[in-house]
Amino acid sequence: IQIDIDTISQNDFAPPVHITSAKIANKSYVNINSHNPPSKPMLDYDNNMIQFSFASLDYTAPERNQYRYMLAGFDQDWLTTLLPRAMYTNLAAGDYVFKVQSTNSDGIWSNQQAEFAFNIKKAWWYYALIALGTIIMLIILLFALSRLKQMKELSRRANFDSLTGLANRFHFNQQLTLLISNPYNTAAVVFIDLDHFKEVNDSMGHDVGDELIIQVGKRLQHCLSQQDVLARLGGDEFALIIPYEQAEGNVNRDVVNIIERVRQTLNKGYQINQYWLNSSASIGVACFPEDGKDAKTLLKHADTAMYAAKQNGRNGIYFFNEALSTALLERLLIKDQLNNALSEAQFEVHYQPKCCVDTHEIVGLEALLRWNHPHHGMVSPNRFIDQAEDSGLIIDIGLWVLEQACQQGYYWQQQGILRGNISVNISPVQLSQPTIVDDIAAILERTAFPAHHLELEITESLLIKDLNAAQDVLLALKKLRVRIALDDFGKGYSSLNYLTQFPIDTLKIDKGFLSSILPEETSNIVLRNIITLGHELKLDVVAEGVETHAQLLKLKQYNCKIVQGFLFSHALDVTHLETCLVHNKLTLSEYVEIEDE
């Protein structure tokens, strides 16, 4: 047989290809290429084995048909096979499209293809991981926000006062250090300490004290400009940094005006709950760079000036100078050495006679404390009594003086040379002690000194602080038969009500009031009437601080019977006083130079 191959033509038929079936997750899909194909299958991630069967529609020689397929989303290129099937498993979640093409019997690829789309859902643990990740991110975010909040709170606490919201000591020191880092700056460092704040806390409670601090802080803010620094250092202490322009040879007048405005503002009353409080402040000022080149020195000097303001009557403004620093150092040394003075027997009791105006005979004694310092000699009480009261040492010292006076008084009585009583000063701190009456009774019992020969001198300041408490203590003392003298009458408050409200036996006219009797006729009238009133109330009247003949004659004219002062004698030690007691008379030729009592 002969075949004419030139007459044979190539098969150009482009057969379509059909996906005859698909088995997805054990579910079969047919009629995939019909006009109503099945909806897009959604497979679970855990069950995603997929099988496809397909066929070419060229039936000339089916055994010679080739196929190529590709799973879009998984395969990178076409896969060629002679088998009309394909299988995939363990696919990742996502959208896929299975595509297949075929050749005709002559191996010509058809441009027609069949497609089948499906989706594999994400695994359950994927959503769990997303949820867990979200939770972790939220936790991290919350932790970060919490830490940020804590850091802000720590920063606020580190730099600002929790009660007033003002800068605290740490922040104030930072601002001061920053200011003095520029040597061309000038500024005033101001320390402010409220007067008698402890009494507010003790008598009205810390809630009232805290509210007072808050109101003080607000008032200070209103007195200052934005460039000024205001801080609460703690307790009732505030501090300011006030920058200013250097004035020629002096502090800028505007600074002085600002500080005075601050003082006056703080002096106004405060309404706190049901209380109306009157308050004041002691203010100390140190200037940069004149009073110190570094923060530590400036703060120390401002504090020194504030302390001086407090020691000199309070409610004042003091600018630092070297004299204040020297005085403060001396006070600190005395305060430190005072702790051991009693135990080391450095104290002595001296006695100043009280004399009859007419006869000059000694009619009584006042016991006065003296400190015989081993290095500084005799130290005046004016230099250490305040420190003793502030530290509480006055309680033990006062009882020691009282016992010494009673022991010595009993000895002189046994000798028959003591006439009249012995007066002993009692401070408000001592009388505020709950055991003071029992302590005095025990001393009288131990020393056997007659109670009616002991006279306790109190000041008007004690009566003003708490009238009821003072009255209870004084009445209890009167039951012991102890005499009560009102000391320094005319010095401060001088209310005549005290003479009738309290069991007072003796009225002692203050020496400062007496010193003004000669120039002022008005003072003479007041003095004469005080003496007359005392006598009519059957009180002993003693004029203190008699230093001149003219004062003595004036008192004699006003019928004052008892006087005390340097005109007769200063305070004497036991040995010298015994000589005077034996003679029982002082002459005016025995005067000595004036010293502080």
DSSP one-letter string for 400-416: HHHHHHHHHHHHHHHHT
Distance CA 220, CA 266 (A): 8
Assigned domain for 2 exists: no
Assigned domain for 6 exists: no
Assigned domain for 76 exists: yes
Of 109, 135, 157, which residue sits at a domain end? 157
Task: Say if residue 117 is in the same domain as residue 211.
Answer: no
Q: Based on the number of CB atoms within 10 Å of its own CB, is 506 exposed (0-12), middle (13-18) or buried (19 or more)? A: buried
Task: Say if residue 275 is in the same domain as residue 394.
Answer: no
Task: Say if residue 114 is in the same domain as residue 128.
Answer: no
Assigned domain for 484 exists: yes
Task: Say if residue 142 is in the same domain as residue 232.
Answer: no
Predicted TM-score (pTM) of the model is 0.56
Residues 6+ apart with CB under 8 A from 74: 88, 91, 96
- Domains held by the chain: number: 4
* Angle at CA of residue 132, ends 131 and 134, nearest 5°: 65
Distance CA 499, CA 530 (A): 11
Distance CA 265, CA 248 (A): 28
Assigned domain for 333 exists: no
Residue 128's domain spans which residues?
A: 123-157
Distance CA 427, CA 436 (A): 11
Domain harbouring 217, CATH code? 3.30.70.270
Task: Say if residue 144 is in the same domain as residue 133.
Answer: yes
Task: Say if residue 290 is in the same domain as residue 347.
Answer: no
Assigned domain for 326 exists: no
DSSP code per residue over 288-310 = ETTT-SSHHHHHHHHHHHHHHHH
Q: Provide the 8-state DSSP code for 250.
A: B
Per-residue pLDDT of the chain in tens (597 residues, 90 and over written 9): 565 555 556 667 778 888 888 888 778 887 777 666 677 888 887 777 888 998 888 777 777 888 999 999 999 999 999 889 999 988 888 899 999 999 887 788 888 888 888 888 888 888 889 999 999 999 999 999 999 998 888 888 888 888 999 999 999 999 999 999 998 888 999 999 999 888 888 888 889 999 999 999 999 999 888 899 999 998 899 999 999 887 655 556 778 888 889 998 998 888 888 888 888 999 999 988 888 889 999 999 999 889 888 878 788 888 887 766 666 667 667 777 888 888 888 999 999 999 999 888 999 999 999 998 888 788 888 878 877 887 788 899 999 999 999 999 999 999 999 989 999 999 888 888 899 999 999 999 999 999 999 999 988 766 666 677 788 899 999 999 999 999 888 665 556 777 778 889 999 988 776 665 445 677 778 888 889 989 998 999 999 989 888 889 889 999 999 999 999 988 999 999 998 998 887 766 444 444 444
* Closest listed residue to residue 500, CA positions, set 553, 536, 476: 536
Task: Say if residue 100 is in the same domain as residue 174.
Answer: no
Task: Say if residue 227 is in the same domain as residue 374.
Answer: no
Task: Say if residue 248 is in the same domain as residue 366.
Answer: no
* Closest listed residue to residue 460, CA positions, set 497, 434, 405: 497
